[in-house]
Structure 1
Amino acid sequence: MEKQSVSEYSTIEQRQPSLKIHSSDNVLVALKDLPEGIIINNNGNSILLADPIPAKHKFFTDDMKAGDDVIMYGVLVGKVQQAVKKGQLMTTVNTKHAAANYSYRAANYQWEAPDVSRFTNKTFRGYKRKDGRVGTANYWLFIPTVFCENRNLDVIKEAMWNELGYAVTDRYKQFTRQLFAAYRAGENIDSIQLNPSETNASDRFFKNVDGIKFLNHAGGCGGTRQDASTLSALLASYADHPNVGGVTVLSLGCQHLQVNNFLNDLKHRNPGFDKPLFVFEQQAIQSEEELVTEAIRQTFKGLVEINQQKREEVPLHHLCIGVKCGGSDGFSGISANPAIGHTSDLLVALGGKVLLAEFPELCGAEQELIDRCPNEEAANKFIQLMKSYDQQAQLVGSGFHMNPSPGNIKDGLITDAIKSTGAARKAGTSPVVSVLDYTEPAILPGLSLVCTPGNDVEATTGKAASGATLILFTTGLGTPTGNPVAPTIKLATNSPLAKRMSDIIDIDTGPIISGEKTIQQMGEEILEFCIAVASGELIPKAVQLAQDDFIPWKRGVSL
């Protein structure tokens, strides 16, 4: 097999109206709104546009008949449903999802690693744990074993966040007070403005504790015992996360997920677990007041302890980055996703870890990933996870082909295979070193595939469970998603989005579309940004806004 490195295209010429991603593609991507009737020249092929083509959408390069294959990214992504003309807009009417069959084959995959000389001697300032892992943050974590304890977590959160300097919603409280005061005074409340957002890190009492996090959830009881078992493994993985310095557990007492189940899962995951850990069971305590006050008291002592930990310089191979896309658009697969794909390749070449999840969004990219697996065992594990997942979806009348959302389709992702093959570009081109089921930890350096849903929060929740200490999250439509323990960096696929939603976007990859930057240049810039975040020098918008989204997956059908 030929050596694989960067994508076939890496630079878009400025003012180029459209892009052919792979030489074998029979569709082009419009890089800007293109009017009907103009001629697009592509490598000697003159294409008269039969329709207006909105930016991000695709048009056909040849006349095609019903049943013909639609090729994009060099792979099958759909079937033509009716005769189409050269230059016609691809729609959900004339094109339906299709993907090639896949199986294990001895591919002898060869990889050409990128030049990493720029980063060879670079380090980041992280929190070294006794087991050798390194955190990019130092959080205290509150875990409920059952949803019955969510209210107590909310009470504790309100108290500790406000008093210890971690609250991020004070300005909204001030805004509400101003509205009330203006209303009582008979003034026009429309003149009241929200104060600018400001980070409050300087107000924190514990300078070396980056946050106090709370894993509110809807599980632990009332579902199946299998649900409780999966949740227990998930919560144990978060307690053991390198970014977590200490843990407080609240339990009711009678729920399916017993404290001993959680502690056994934690010991199984890490026999040497030695972080401060406090457990409180409400039905064994005299009152709710005692539960809350003692949880706060003991946690305060724990915060004093983990505040003694300080950041230290460590090599970049200690980074573990999860790559994710959500609210994707027709530019995701040609700007932000391949850019962080290059970042992924750089980190793998440096000895770090990269996690690619979202199995419903790998439909159509399976064979390439299988060919990159290290052996038949890993390949077959991936195949089994993919097929059993898709079969579950089909049993309830769905399937991977129903993954694209209305927003995805509106912005040019007509079939799941188009969305998925663009999504898979986040993983770059390095070999796959392991295939992990949900909550399995990433042990080996390199690229690992992690079985999670495509759902934004369920996927980020799963990446952190496998050990991601940072998450790179690309979006073309704008997605306000983060994670409690893995700082999440948000990348816009296009510059208009980056400007419109600057409050949630950290990095604009739109310059790739305009031709101002190459994929490689942007990928290197992204890695530099990751290093700054991992060192605590930059705080991503998702962290500033406390976008601590956490949704456990019950292993049911979730696309």
Structure 2
Amino acid sequence: MLENKTKKQVVKLHPDDNVLVALTDLQKGEIITFESEDYTLAETIKAKHKFYMQDMLQGAEVIMYGVLVGKVQNDVAKGSFMTTENLKHAADPYSYKDSTFSWQAPDVTKYKNQTFKGYKRKDGRVGTANYWLFVPTVFCENRNLDVIKEALHNELGYAVSDKYTRYTHQLLQSYQDGEDIQSVEIALSPSSKNDRVFQNVDGIKFLNHQGGCGGTRQDAATLSALLASYANHPNVGGITLLSLGCQHLQVQDFLDDIKKQNPEFDKPLFVFEQQQTKSEEFLITSAIKQTFEGLIEINKYERTPAPLSDLCIGVKCGGSDGFSGVSANPAVGYTSDLVVALGGKILLAEFPELCGAEQNLIDRCTSEPTAKKFIDLMESYDALAHKVGSGFHMNPSPGNIKDGLITDAIKSAGAAKKGGTSPVVDVLDYTELVTKPGLNLVCTPGNDVEATTGKAASGATLILFTTGLGTPTGNPVCPVIKVATNSVLATKMKDIIDIDCGPIISGEKSIEEMGEEILDYCIKAASGEIIPKAVQLNQDDFIPWKRGVSL
């Protein structure tokens, strides 16, 4: 861990590590002194990248975060640059061991009496937002959803594209007037909350997707459970369902899945089936009219104080870099520990990005069945990936590698830091709902949108999303908070970044200080006092997962 307010050139992430991480650009031939030992750099080492702390022979094990992350492919010298050519992925085997795990919870005295203002639902859960949700049972209805979205968003004040519409209008006007369009600048603000007709409705959301028919019946069944979990989500106040009629995913399947998840489900739910209506126009106008009536009803809901134990936060990383496991992920991990200590729920997913961190998580499981469920899901998922010619080792993207994440085990060991250090109380398969306070593992791909889609399905009402390279990913029903690993990114992409963890890298702040700042932001976001950038931009990404074909 970085020491508070101490400027460093490099950092060693665990006492057992045999590599150092560059915190700033280091030049070839430069002599770096760390813990009274000198290292002469054989090559230029850019910030976020690593160099070896000792001479190593081919096949030698490389340790980062205290775990095996790869094996060198040829002899390497002390001070040489870690690359994809000289290091390949390797991870230790894992198994259940009947070991005793103890956890020292962080001090949460300052948060004991704090609350957030949320929407209390009849099932006891508390939402951080109040959305109306449009759900298609099949991709055939996507076009109708798009038409309805344009009509409702533009008229009711939820559109974010109005400034671009006006900009295009200005370009057109200048062109028609024979003026130079280069002088036209975008200077108009998008719609604000004050423009909304329904002040207590935070948004009207649409779950366009490509499923519901044409695939396997298992795909349709999984999609049904996913859509039902979104309808049942505590951030959703009401639902409009559009169906064609002949598709695999029948309306009754969806309704049955809702009741299976929540026998007391009582939200307003309007169902329209196109093959049973007299025209497309009738379908669309009827859906708009009934939805408008529903919006009037859920606009009567108001935020009320709720304890922090009602928070359910998903933790995710995407567009990761070599600083992810150094700054943002461990800071979010400390936030996770604070939430768990307060009685809340944390959801850690992205199973391909836990490769190499399995044993630590298994040892932290509170029961043998929980540990074995995690092992079974990891092994079956990896086996499915291998069947299509892939595997967890192929997870890092070109962007990850370019910015210092050379192997999947390096990426995973840093990614797992988002879950903090608390016990693992439960393991959830895809679309399973979270019920236990504490740290829960959720089986999803590492893919940004598929993972956030899965975490929201399991009940996350906020998602902390760390990024080192920058990604605009959001979710239709769960506000996504973007946490930058470095200040360069936070400055460059300030329109999508909410929190900057760069002060950890510069030594201005500790991981613990940053973790508390992140929790403070979450409390305000959960109360509607701060609107995360992804929400402001209507970044409503939704991709159902087809198992085994995505990492």
Q: TM-score range by the shorter chain?
A: over 0.9
Match for residue 185 of structure 1?
177
Q: Report whether the alignment pairs 1:466 with 2:458.
A: yes
Match for residue 123 of structure 1?
115
> How far, CA to CA, are the matches of 1:277 and 1:251 in structure 2?
13
> How far, CA to CA, are the matches of 1:191 and 1:423 in structure 2?
45
Superposed, 1:373-412 pairs within 5 Å as: 373-412=365-404
> How far, CA to CA, are the matches of 1:379 and 1:66 in structure 2?
34
> How far, CA to CA, are the matches of 2:276 and 2:308 in structure 1?
46
Residues 37-60 of structure 1, C-alpha deviation per residue, up to 9 Å, x if partnerless?
A: 111122122111111101000000
State which of 410, 429, 449 in structure 2 corresponds to 1:437: 429
Match for residue 85 of structure 1?
77
State which of 273, 277, 285 in structure 2 corresponds to 1:285: 277
**Aligned partners of 1:474 and 1:492 also within 8 Å:** yes
State which of 286, 307, 320 in structure 2 corresponds to 1:315: 307
**Aligned partners of 2:162 and 2:191 also within 8 Å:** no
Q: 1:159 Cα shift?
A: 0.4
State which of 311, 317, 331 in structure 2 corresponds to 1:325: 317
Residues 100-142 of structure 1, C-alpha deviation per residue, up to 9 Å, x if partnerless?
A: 0000001211000000011111000000111111000000000
Q: Which consecutive unaligned segments of at least 5 residues does structure 1 have?
A: 1-8
State which of 298, 302, 322 in structure 1 corresponds to 2:294: 302
State which of 434, 440, 465 in structure 2 corresponds to 1:448: 440
**Aligned partners of 2:352 and 2:446 also within 8 Å:** yes
Match for residue 478 of structure 2?
486
**Aligned partners of 2:158 and 2:191 also within 8 Å:** no
Match for residue 4 of structure 1?
none
- What SS does the corresponding residue of 2:409 show, helix, strand or coil? helix
> How far, CA to CA, are the matches of 1:147 and 1:557 in structure 2?
20
> How far, CA to CA, are the matches of 2:35 and 2:56 in structure 1?
19
Q: 1:274 Cα shift?
A: 0.4
Residues 13-46 of structure 1, C-alpha deviation per residue, up to 9 Å, x if partnerless?
A: 5331100000100000000000011111221221
State which of 261, 271, 291 in structure 2 corresponds to 1:269: 261
Q: 1:393 Cα shift?
A: 1.2
> How far, CA to CA, are the matches of 2:536 and 2:433 in structure 1?
27
- What SS does the corresponding residue of 2:413 show, helix, strand or coil? helix
Runs of 4+ with deviation above 6 angstroms: none
Q: Report whether the alignment pairs 1:550 with 2:510.
A: no
Q: 1:396 Cα shift?
A: 1.7
Residues 148-174 of structure 1, C-alpha deviation per residue, up to 9 Å, x if partnerless?
A: 000000000000011111111000100
Q: 1:334 Cα shift?
A: 0.6
Q: Aligned letter for 1:525?
A: E
Q: 1:70 Cα shift?
A: 0.3
> How far, CA to CA, are the matches of 1:547 and 1:112 in structure 2?
37
**Aligned partners of 2:321 and 2:404 also within 8 Å:** yes
Superposed, 1:77-226 pairs within 5 Å as: 77-226=69-218
Q: 1:196 Cα shift?
A: 4.7
Q: Report whether the alignment pairs 1:353 with 2:348.
A: no
Q: 1:394 Cα shift?
A: 1.3
Superposed, 1:478-557 pairs within 5 Å as: 478-557=470-549
> How far, CA to CA, are the matches of 1:375 and 1:444 in structure 2?
13
> How far, CA to CA, are the matches of 2:407 and 2:509 in structure 1?
28
Q: Aligned letter for 2:208?
A: N
Q: Structure 2 length as normaliser, TM-score?
A: 0.99
> How far, CA to CA, are the matches of 2:182 and 2:379 in structure 1?
55
Q: Aligned letter for 2:179?
A: E
Q: Aligned letter for 2:315?
A: V
Q: 1:232 Cα shift?
A: 0.1
- What SS does the corresponding residue of 1:118 show, helix, strand or coil? helix
> How far, CA to CA, are the matches of 2:3 and 2:382 in structure 1?
35
Q: Report whether the alignment pairs 1:67 with 2:55.
A: no
**Aligned partners of 1:142 and 1:248 also within 8 Å:** yes
**Aligned partners of 2:58 and 2:72 also within 8 Å:** yes
**Aligned partners of 1:10 and 1:520 also within 8 Å:** no
Q: Aligned letter for 1:501?
A: M
Q: Which consecutive unaligned segments of at least 5 residues does structure 2 have?
A: none
Distance 1:425 1:319, change over 3 A: same
**Aligned partners of 1:324 and 1:472 also within 8 Å:** yes
Larger displacement relative to structure 2 (36-45 or 98-107): 36-45
> How far, CA to CA, are the matches of 1:155 and 1:196 in structure 2?
25
Q: Aligned letter for 1:236?
A: A
- What SS does the corresponding residue of 1:178 show, helix, strand or coil? helix
- What SS does the corresponding residue of 1:110 show, helix, strand or coil? coil
- What SS does the corresponding residue of 1:248 show, helix, strand or coil? strand
Q: 1:455 Cα shift?
A: 0.2
Match for residue 35 of structure 1?
27
Q: Aligned letter for 1:362?
A: L
- What SS does the corresponding residue of 1:340 show, helix, strand or coil? helix
- What SS does the corresponding residue of 2:109 show, helix, strand or coil? coil
Residues 71-106 of structure 1, C-alpha deviation per residue, up to 9 Å, x if partnerless?
A: 000000000000000000000000000000000001
> How far, CA to CA, are the matches of 2:503 and 2:190 in structure 1?
28
Q: 1:197 Cα shift?
A: 3.9
**Aligned partners of 1:464 and 1:486 also within 8 Å:** yes
Q: 1:12 Cα shift?
A: 5.6
Q: Equivalent pairs: percent with the same residue? A: 71
Match for residue 367 of structure 1?
359
Count of aligned pairs: 551
Match for residue 424 of structure 1?
416
> How far, CA to CA, are the matches of 1:397 and 1:208 in structure 2?
49
**Aligned partners of 2:159 and 2:191 also within 8 Å:** no
Q: 1:198 Cα shift?
A: 3.9
> How far, CA to CA, are the matches of 1:42 and 1:392 in structure 2?
44
**Aligned partners of 1:12 and 1:514 also within 8 Å:** no
Residues 300-327 of structure 1, C-alpha deviation per residue, up to 9 Å, x if partnerless?
A: 1111111110000110000100000000
Q: Aligned letter for 2:11?
A: L
Q: 1:343 Cα shift?
A: 0.2
Residues 496-543 of structure 1, C-alpha deviation per residue, up to 9 Å, x if partnerless?
A: 000000000000000000000000000000000000000000000000
Q: Aligned letter for 1:210?
A: D
**Aligned partners of 1:199 and 1:544 also within 8 Å:** no
Match for residue 243 of structure 1?
235
> How far, CA to CA, are the matches of 2:4 and 2:517 in structure 1?
18
> How far, CA to CA, are the matches of 2:275 and 2:532 in structure 1?
39
Q: 1:556 Cα shift?
A: 2.9
Q: Aligned letter for 1:462?
A: G
**Aligned partners of 1:389 and 1:557 also within 8 Å:** no
> How far, CA to CA, are the matches of 2:205 and 2:255 in structure 1?
19
> How far, CA to CA, are the matches of 1:199 and 1:416 in structure 2?
42
Q: Report whether the alignment pairs 1:413 with 2:405.
A: yes
- What SS does the corresponding residue of 2:205 show, helix, strand or coil? strand
